[in-house]
């Protein structure tokens, strides 16, 4: 099925501050390489029949390339983001402006949340899976459920290397997810086992290769090229893996999913 995505080019990408364990301000960043890799991602998406919209990057906001964090959209309604760290807070207004100009129903948040970084939608049961522990305030889960009219399952993240839900869990098709058990609290692991007994269970190597930070259209899975173990697991379950090298953008703590906001309408 064709999907519609919003991405933002890494025109001003840099690691000028550190707000997650992956960011090292002493490591050099090749912005031109990041831009080429991002374009490869866009081309992979369009080559598989998907529509890509672009949000203009703004100077002074080096993390705007991680477009998934700017909002969460279900059934044509957009629940906006409210970033935890001041370095990223201005990004929210850019996303709001884009969505309002596009004519979508936009719900401004009052609680701290980082969009699809901490929200995932499972279409089959119509469930929202919501992470908390590092970036998103759990009070935003109820706010998102009210805004979007969907039940929300709260999941606690307990490993700061997997600071957003989308680094530890991904939706593969209408009913199937993949997740990294060790990234979640014991009670959250129990809920995931009960709700998704057929899940693809990842291991630490998959997580460290950003193998959970993927985007799936239900058939094709766009995956960080480094995540070969995850690629094998997904292939064994019948998915077609589309590897994309995003090694430069990984320096900021993100990969495929971080770069992609899905527009569901």
Which residues are known to be catalytic?
164, 258
* Cβ(134)–Cβ(165) below 8 Å: no
C-alpha–C-alpha distance, residues 135 and 157, integer Å = 10
List 5's β-bridge partners, or say none. Answer: 52, 262
* Cβ(246)–Cβ(41) below 8 Å: yes
C-alpha–C-alpha distance, residues 258 and 194, integer Å = 27
C-alpha–C-alpha distance, residues 174 and 187, integer Å = 24
**Tokens at residue 201, please?**
């269970």
Q: Which residue has the tokens 């070969």?
A: 228
Q: Which residue has the tokens 């098709």?
A: 173
């Amino acid at each position: 099925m064709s999907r519609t995505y919003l991405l933002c080019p890494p025109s001003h990408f840099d690691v000028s501050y550190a707000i997650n364990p992956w960011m090292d301000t002493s490591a050099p960043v090749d912005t031109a390489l990041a831009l080429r890799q991002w374009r490869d991602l866009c081309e992979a998406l369009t080559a598989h029949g998907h529509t890509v919209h672009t949000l203009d990057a703004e100077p002074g906001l080096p993390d705007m390339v991680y477009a998934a964090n700017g909002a969460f959209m279900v059934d044509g309604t957009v629940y906006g983001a409210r970033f935890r760290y001041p370095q990223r807070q201005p990004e929210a207004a850019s996303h709001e402006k884009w969505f309002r100009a596009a004519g979508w129903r936009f719900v401004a948040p009052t609680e701290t949340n980082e969009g699809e970084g901490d929200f995932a939608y499972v279409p089959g049961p119509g469930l929202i899976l919501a992470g908390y522990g590092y970036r998103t305030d759990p009070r935003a889960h109820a706010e998102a459920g009210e805004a979007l009219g969907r039940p929300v399952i709260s999941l606690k993240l307990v490993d700061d290397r997997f600071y957003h839900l989308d680094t530890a869990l991904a939706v593969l098709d209408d009913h199937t997810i993949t997740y990294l058990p060790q990234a979640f609290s014991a009670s959250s692991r129990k809920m995931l086992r009960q709700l998704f007994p057929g899940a693809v269970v990842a291991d630490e190597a998959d997580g460290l290769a950003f193998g959970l930070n993927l985007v799936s259209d239900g058939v094709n899975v766009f995956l960080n090229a480094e995540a070969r173990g995850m690629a094998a697991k997904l292939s064994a379950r019948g998915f077609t893996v589309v590897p994309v090298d995003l090694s430069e953008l990984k320096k900021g703590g993100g990969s495929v999913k971080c770069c992609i906001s899905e527009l569901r309408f």
